[in-house]
Structure 1
Amino acid sequence: MAPFGLKVIRGAFGFGERVAPALTGRAAFELFCRTPSPKKMTEGERRAVTRASSFMSEARHHRLKTRSGCIVAHEFRPQGRAAAGTVLVMHGWRSRTEYMRSLIEGYRNAGYKVVSLDLPGHGQSPGRRLNLVSAVEAAAQVGQWFGPFAAVVGHSFGGAVAANAAAGSVPGIPPLATECLVLVAAPSSMPAVFADFSRMLNVGPRSQKAMAGRVKRISGRPLDEFMGERQLAETPVPTLVVHAPDDKEVPAWHAQRYADAGPHVRLHWADGLGHRRILADRAVVTRAVDFVRKRHLVVH
């Protein structure tokens, strides 16, 4: 967001906090859910998508209906052999399947079929709106078509979606069936995510309360219940958490919160890899694949 535009928005939210916090809170929530315009990719993003065009051509593309619209899932089959199982991969905010290429190829090379979901408003999935409920709903729809899964793997917001989907944290949406989870650079606390957003845009406490009320109306649960350590503690699915101590987008304490959920959660620190470089690191990919393969062999 340009500095001038941010200054105007901060001023508007500051004024709204004083005169109409309910209205301001609703507006802030809608802005929070607004996804980036696909027409405004950076030059680096365009290059990444172009470089991955041949990789994407290897997939079967499925358009699935959800209650709030439709989504696109990309099915990558292992080459030359029957699939050992199916892995669901989910990207983060302002991301798409192309950016998950290293992890997808790692699981394919290990013999897994990989289904990668473009979350609503991202990649090839249409729309300009995304929240945790619509994301969990999208994951559940993919689960109906392709599950159960050997693993669900998520980066950043996609990791939070994976944890919430597996825990069945949204009333009315059944838990996503998976043998294990891999959460890469994932936020564990949705209240903290909302608080960071509010600080950035000068959303005051009364407006924040209205935002939280909007969450409860949409999800059926209070905002403060969307805590990753609580969800994983109540859902003892073997989980690998991979995080970089220098991650500036999702601070490292989020990973430690997940790890505190219980002995079924393993934490690996990927030093020096930040929030996005972590996705392409060979050692991280190897660790993520081996974690799933070992648990899959135990189950089967």
Structure 2
Amino acid sequence: MSKTQRAARASFRVLGRAAPPLALTLGAATYWRAGAPATVRPADRAVHDSARRGTLAHHPTFRGGRDAGGTVTVTTYTWGEAGAPAVLLVHGWRSRASAFGRIVEDLTGAGLRVVAYDAPAHGASGGRHRTGLDDLAIIRRLSDAENAPWAAVVGHSLGVLPAGIALHEGVKAERFTAISGLTSVRAATDWFVRTAGLPWDLRDRFATAAQRYGLPGHPDVYERFDLLTRTVPTSVPTLWVHDTGDPINPHLLSEQLHEAHATSGELFTTTGLGHNKILGDPAVRSRILDHLAAPASA
């Protein structure tokens, strides 16, 4: 943890005790801030540059602060033959589509077409904030442009949540793979409370403050974005992939997701890969391909 992060934690801890309303307001504003977009890693550069790019005009759902509203340009990427079955990739927080570089190579090598996008405020897309509602709207638009259901949807980290909820709400796919995933928006706000240093007894008040600050017109966001209660359809075989030492999203989250999808899913556990390296691991990539190739009745 950097000196800046330690100082911020100390400030939130003190404010949380001395002036809870101020701590909650500052915390809610910080919670939605995506920060500087991640750059393309050298190992992913060739895959990134080989994509066919497109754009979508998107109206952000974020409503907090002075920079709310307007339209942002979302960058999309496609790899593979135009008529091939398609796989949709949804990246995580402070990541970008190119983070799936090795997986893109595997999927196109298997004869599949791959579609991905940089979420608002991420990668080459515009904007300053990202919400699950943004991802849900973009996923629907990309899905509507397809002539057939997705051969698979693959999400990583935060991207797992809107991808899974999109399937729950009617987006069609033959398979779903969730890597290092979140169970719910509540899990995301809980993570922020812990990492920011806010007193744990402010947990419920912070969840309310974050919703009111960023999505005041969506009071149901916590109920809507919960994959433990609003599960992926049982007709969609699911693969949950998670590392035991993940420092961002604990392995327990995928255990809970697997339990909630016990009749249609399986859990693949790794050790020593953490939160991001898992995307490039050969064993993980092989397991994803096996999942896509498994018989429908598996």
**Normalising by structure 1, what TM-score?**
0.82
2:79 pairs with 76, 79, 98, which one? 76
Secondary structure of residue in 2 paired with 1:98: helix
Aligned residues: 280
Matched residue, 1:239: 238
Work out whether residues 167 and 235 of structure 1, in 8 Å CA contact, stay in contact via their aligned partners in 2.
Answer: no
How far the C-alpha of 1:197 sits from its partner, in A, is: 0.5
Matched residue, 1:137: 137
Q: Report Cα offsets for 1:238-291 as digits up to 9, x if no partner.
A: 111111112121111101111111310111112332211211111211111221
Distance 1:163 1:233, change over 3 A: closer
Matched, 1:148 2:139: no
Structure 1 residues 199-210: aligned runs within 5 Å = 199-204=194-199, 205=202, 206-210=205-209
How far the C-alpha of 1:217 sits from its partner, in A, is: 3.1
Structure 1 residues 1-300: aligned runs within 5 Å = 2-4=2-4, 6-8=6-8, 10-11=10-11, 14-15=14-15, 19=19, 21=21, 24-38=23-37, 48=41, 50-68=42-60, 69-78=72-81, 82-83=83-84, 85-146=85-146, 148-168=149-169, 175-204=170-199, 205=202, 206-214=205-213, 217-223=216-222, 226-232=225-231, 236-261=235-260, 262-295=262-295, 298=296
Work out whether residues 133 and 219 of structure 1, in 8 Å CA contact, stay in contact via their aligned partners in 2.
Answer: no
Write the letter of the residue equivalent to 2:283: A
Work out whether residues 191 and 224 of structure 1, in 8 Å CA contact, stay in contact via their aligned partners in 2.
Answer: no
Distance 1:54 1:32, change over 3 A: same
Secondary structure of residue in 1 paired with 2:271: coil
Work out whether residues 213 and 222 of structure 1, in 8 Å CA contact, stay in contact via their aligned partners in 2.
Answer: no
Q: Which runs of 5+ in 2 are unaligned?
A: 61-71
Secondary structure of residue in 2 paired with 1:177: coil
Q: In the aligned structure 2, how far is the partner of 1:133 from the partner of 1:26?
A: 22
Q: More helix per residue: 1 or 2? A: 1
Write the letter of the residue equivalent to 1:143: S
Q: In the aligned structure 1, how far is the partner of 2:94 from the partner of 2:117?
A: 13
Distance 1:18 1:216, change over 3 A: farther
How far the C-alpha of 1:123 sits from its partner, in A, is: 1.1
Work out whether residues 161 and 227 of structure 2, in 8 Å CA contact, stay in contact via their aligned partners in 1.
Answer: yes
Q: In the aligned structure 1, how far is the partner of 2:226 from the partner of 2:196?
A: 23
Q: In the aligned structure 2, how far is the partner of 1:100 from the partner of 1:232?
A: 24
Distance 1:233 1:115, change over 3 A: closer
Work out whether residues 242 and 269 of structure 2, in 8 Å CA contact, stay in contact via their aligned partners in 1.
Answer: yes
Q: In the aligned structure 2, how far is the partner of 1:118 from the partner of 1:161?
A: 14
What's the % identity of the aligned pairs?
A: 25
How far the C-alpha of 1:24 sits from its partner, in A, is: 4.5
Secondary structure of residue in 1 paired with 2:268: strand
Q: In the aligned structure 1, how far is the partner of 2:55 from the partner of 2:232?
A: 34
How far the C-alpha of 1:226 sits from its partner, in A, is: 3.0
How far the C-alpha of 1:73 sits from its partner, in A, is: 1.0
Work out whether residues 82 and 111 of structure 1, in 8 Å CA contact, stay in contact via their aligned partners in 2.
Answer: no
Q: In the aligned structure 1, how far is the partner of 2:134 from the partner of 2:17?
A: 28
Q: CA RMSD in A?
A: 2.7
How far the C-alpha of 1:26 sits from its partner, in A, is: 4.3
Write the letter of the residue equivalent to 1:75: T
Distance 1:177 1:70, change over 3 A: farther
Q: In the aligned structure 2, how far is the partner of 1:257 from the partner of 1:264?
A: 14
Q: In the aligned structure 2, how far is the partner of 1:278 from the partner of 1:8?
A: 29
Q: Which deviates the most, 184-193 or 221-230?
A: 221-230
Q: Which runs of 5+ in 1 are unaligned?
A: 169-174
